[in-house]
Structure 1
């Protein structure tokens, strides 16, 4: 993959600063050649515009580790069944992508770049199609909202019941769509509980800026509404045989998958100490602290440390949660699970690297 990887990176540099224009051209070209594909996408394309392009580019640039990303791409293929993607659609996407890049790369674009992207995209498409073909589940599940609670001005906790059982592992995430408010707009959220006998799923959502889906889930969703859920994805799961103590680091609603992992641990853990670090801007954003404290009171192996980065009167720790973790320890022999915003996860990974925690012991999720 060495030469291929070099060609992909070299060619991407030629168009990187024109990403938005490349994305616009990409969709225009795709819809021109196949007008029927427009119906698979949301009416509002502003947020969507860069998503598919970014997903493809990220996948292509990580092809140098095919085993690691094979599972990811198969999962992506399963997930794309929710869009009613057919095998012939992959070909249109691939040719539109290469044409869009060629249009903005200028004179330095050569035939070898065409071939490199075609080869890389063929690998991606084949793995995604294999994942879709092997999936015996429905493309998505309908689920009824059973409970909905506002925990802060922009945070809601709600639970749903899928009409058919939906199998997942603690720590995974899935896509949600609200057909009543934002049809064909899907966003990923982590499940906040381990699998339960009653099949219910809980979600923690923050309304983000102009986020169409998150705002609807927080401010408009009601008990009795129906949502659609896509296939679960993600590998931030527990390795049951590990005997190492664990550190869970959560920022804001990044607490959701941490809660899921904790619930699984309450069912079998007797020997591992578990330290939860939960950080937010202010005390209102520590929206699930009462429940965390109840768990810590019930299970002697669990401890909880909270921090606020912008609430001087808060009685707990002060500062970013990544810095707070560094004040505790030592952490030489622990498994780490990190979940939160992209900025929070990046800062935490940097801190853990400085603390010389081996990356193989760190699992993280930056979707929340």
Structure 2
């Protein structure tokens, strides 16, 4: 977990927490789930720790035998931060209806990374040739990523009714009251 400047929890975790300390967690409290009544291809777009919800959704769908085409476009800064990469590559090998598109925004130029470079929305736009018609999209990540993905999806002809999202906010984000003008309740 990276420290968020001004963030009470991340600052405490990085500066006060010691090996052996016990923590009590609760949650999640969200209502983010796959609308299984729609029989259309699915695209999941995740950034950072926003991968947890799409990961659970994808694993659940595949274990239930869902044969709908589904694609995960997942972004991190560098390969070192790209968690569950091997697992998603294995799922893509095992299930012909699942595609995995990892994208790195800050991977050093000299590295041997041959995957997508840039942000999640850019990788998705390239992968789908900017045509998202007929899909349902599930987005999970930081507000700036969500906003960029929504814009890209709508420019690629996906309607608002077909986009579902879960944003996570830091204290700094919440104070800015980030909201898309396209959606009533985010």
Shorter-chain TM-score bucket reads: 0.7 to 0.9
Select the residue among 107, 117, 123 that pairs with 1:318: 117
- In structure 1, the residue matched to 2:89 is 293
The 4+ residue runs of structure 1 with deviation greater than 4 A are 215-219, 221-224
Report how far residue 259 of structure 1 moved.
0.9
Q: Secondary structure at the match of 2:24?
A: strand
- In structure 2, the residue matched to 1:344 is 145
- In structure 2, the residue matched to 1:275 is 71
CA RMSD of aligned residues (A): 2.3
Q: Secondary structure at the match of 1:303?
A: strand
Higher helix share: 1
- How many residue pairs are counted as aligned between the two chains? 163
TM-score between both structures, scaled by the size of structure 1: 0.41
In structure 2, do the counterparts of structure 1 residues 215 and 300 end up closer, same or farther at CA, with 3 Å as the change threshold?
Answer: farther
TM-score between both structures, scaled by the size of structure 2: 0.76
Report how far residue 221 of structure 1 moved.
7.0
Select the residue among 39, 45, 50 that pairs with 1:254: 50
Contact kept, 8 Å, 1:250 with 1:338, in 2: the verdict is yes
In structure 2, do the counterparts of structure 1 residues 300 and 218 end up closer, same or farther at CA, with 3 Å as the change threshold?
Answer: farther
Select the residue among 282, 306, 314 that pairs with 2:102: 306
Report how far residue 222 of structure 1 moved.
5.7
- In structure 1, the residue matched to 2:40 is 244
Alignment of 1:65-144 (within 5 A): none
Report how far residue 216 of structure 1 moved.
4.9
Report how far residue 289 of structure 1 moved.
1.2
Matched, 1:362 2:168: no
Q: Secondary structure at the match of 1:357?
A: coil
Q: Secondary structure at the match of 2:36?
A: coil
Report how far residue 210 of structure 1 moved.
4.1
Matched, 1:334 2:131: no
- In structure 1, the residue matched to 2:177 is none
Q: Secondary structure at the match of 2:137?
A: strand
In structure 2, do the counterparts of structure 1 residues 321 and 332 end up closer, same or farther at CA, with 3 Å as the change threshold?
Answer: same
Report how far residue 350 of structure 1 moved.
0.9
Contact kept, 8 Å, 1:280 with 1:309, in 2: the verdict is yes
Higher relative contact order (CA 8 A, sep 6+): 2
Distance (Å, rounded) in 2 between the aligned partners of 1:363 and 1:281: 24
Q: Secondary structure at the match of 1:338?
A: strand
Report how far residue 235 of structure 1 moved.
3.2
- In structure 2, the residue matched to 1:227 is 24
Distance (Å, rounded) in 2 between the aligned partners of 1:252 and 1:258: 12
Contact kept, 8 Å, 1:243 with 1:271, in 2: the verdict is no
Q: Secondary structure at the match of 1:331?
A: coil
| C-alpha distance after superposition, 1:121-157 (max 9, x if no partner) | xxxxxxxxxxxxxxxxxxxxxxxxxxxxxxxxxx3xx
Q: Secondary structure at the match of 1:227?
A: coil
Distance (Å, rounded) in 2 between the aligned partners of 1:327 and 1:207: 31
